[in-house]
Amino acid sequence: MGICDDRVVIVTGAGRGIGRGHALEFARAGAKVVVNDLGAEIDGTGGSPGPAGEVVDAIRAMGGEAVVNGDDVADWEGAQRLIRTALDAFGTLDVLVNNAGFLRDRMVVTTSEEEWDAVIRVHLKGHFAPTRFAAAYWREQQKSGVAVDGRVINTSSGAGLMGSVGQGAYSAAKAGIAGLTMVEAAELARYGVTANAIAPAARTRMTEAVFADTMAAPETAAAFDVMAPENIAPLVVWLGSSESARVTGRVFEVEGGVISMADGWSHGPREDKGARWEPAEIGPVVARLLADAPAPTPVYGT
């Protein structure tokens, strides 16, 4: 018996890397999986059904159930078709794992409008659009008297939580995903749905090109491969299970064998004059607030 027996799961960007690990681990845990992937290159160009098909073949070879979906998750109609794929193939939907994305790394001063729009689109809209239609399905189910035990699991990043030099668009999109997760958790609770996010660190096509030394595999086969993408999946599968029903609105950082909970923005030190401030008064006030506030975590790459 697996902890996700008979649950129906969509994993976007599941043809390679972290998403592939999610899809395979959900299948091992008993889930029926919709494997979504465009088969695009690391910068989002091109496409091939091969990667998603290979994951489906691997799931079926282990005795599981899976189908391919090749829709663009950031396309409004494509997102609707993605949800429909799960309903047509398996009759329901329990878990949506938003994972798809790509990179167009540039410094802020050299980023083009097209690069900015492409990254924001695939990550931020690519998380929102599938969730929009999954949530509509769950709301309909709940209103018709069907018990819903739904899950949304989003993929943020350390770049979204702390920032990353040379990744302005990516950092902005991933920070947006963390904020979106908080709103989804608050709004979807009434329908029996939780929403959480992960900020993973693992070896993928995106990270090994940027952080080659950090992401390198160990030289000996017996050593624990801290950066193996498969290390991220157990937490995601648990979050997709019925066991996680009381956990929502959280962002988890996960790397190798380490799971931690990220603390987001919160109200910090304050000073109330009880009247309108004059500009000349602000300097000492800010100095006192900074003295009482914890130092921010450094931006990656500084």
- Burial state string for 89-121 with b = 16 or more CB within 10 A and e = fewer than 16: bbebbbbbbbbbbbbbbbeeeebeeebbebbbb
**170 is an active site residue:** yes
Does the annotation count 157 as an active-site position?
yes
Phi, psi of 50 (to 5 degrees): -60, -55
Supply the DSSP string of 57-89, one letter for each residue.
HHHHHTT-EEEEE---TTSHHHHHHHHHHHHHH
191 is catalytic: no
Cβ(177)–Cβ(127) below 8 Å: yes
Closest CA to 6 of 26, 36, 35: 26
Alpha-carbon span 179 to 175, nearest angstrom? 6
- Active-site residue identified among 32, 125, 156, 170: 170
d(CA 99, CA 73): 10
Sorted by sequence, the CB contacts under 8 Å of residue 253 that are 6+ apart come out as 158, 161, 198, 199, 200, 201, 259, 260, 261, 262
Which residue out of 32, 164, 174, 300 is catalytically annotated? 174
- The residues annotated with a catalytic role in the active site are 157, 170, 174
